[in-house]
Structure 1
Amino acid sequence: MSDKPSKTLSICGDDLSCCRPAVRRAYSELRRCGQPERYAFEAALAVFRYHHPGAIPRQAELTVAEWVWDGVMH
């Protein structure tokens, strides 16, 4: 099994960061509305997975965490 994300059906093609603004916006807007951090993170992850459905789940989580928490894992 390969550690590389699948390219099939990816809206962004090879560029994993193309959806970064949408991922960060989903997280920040939910936090601004008072939603718990975990809910905001799960929503941001869902946005990422929409753009990259073939991404390995752990890779997706790490990428989203880096984007929304500025590289700091909580």
Structure 2
Amino acid sequence: MSKESQRATASASICGDDLSCCRPAVRRAYTELRQCGQPERYAFEAAIAVFRYHHPAAMPRQAELVVAEWVFDGVRH
């Protein structure tokens, strides 16, 4: 197994199969940036980055939907 595959496997196991394990970190990133006056889009993108750090195998659209549900209390269109 290459070092890159080992890293990807290790990264994928941060939260295992539980997508909600990083929910507090995702919400905190969004909330604190908004409280500092950052635009909603920047805060949302940062929250997605936190989610993707914990779940690198997640598809981009899946990450957006999960994060939107967590930070907006439902999906926004």
**TM-score of the superposition, structure 1-length normalised?**
0.86
Tell me, in whole angstroms, the C-alpha distance in 2 between the residues paired with 1:67 and 1:40: 13
Name the larger-Rg structure: 2
Tell me, which stretches of 5 or more residues in structure 1 are unaligned?
1-7
Unaligned stretches of 5+ residues in structure 2: 1-8
Q: Is the 8 A contact 2:65 2:75 kept in 1?
A: no
* CA distance in 2 between partners of 1:48 and 1:15 (Å): 12
Report percent identity of matched pairs. 85
Q: Counterparts of 1:41 and 1:57 in 2: how far apart (Å)?
A: 13
Give the 5 Å matches for 1:29-68.
Answer: 29-68=32-71
Query: CA offset at residue 54 of structure 1?
Result: 0.4
Deviation at 1:48, TM superposition (A): 0.2
1:22 to 8, 22, 25: 25
Relative contact order (alpha carbons < 8 A, sep ≥ 6): 1 or 2 greater? 1
Give the match for residue 3 of structure 1.
none
> How many residues get paired?
67
CA distance in 1, matches of 2:25, 2:34: 14
Q: Distance in 2 between matches of 1:36 and 1:63?
A: 20
Task: Let me know the Cα RMSD of the aligned residues.
Answer: 1.0
For residues 17 and 25 of structure 2, the distance between their equivalents in structure 1, rounded to whole angstroms, comes to 17
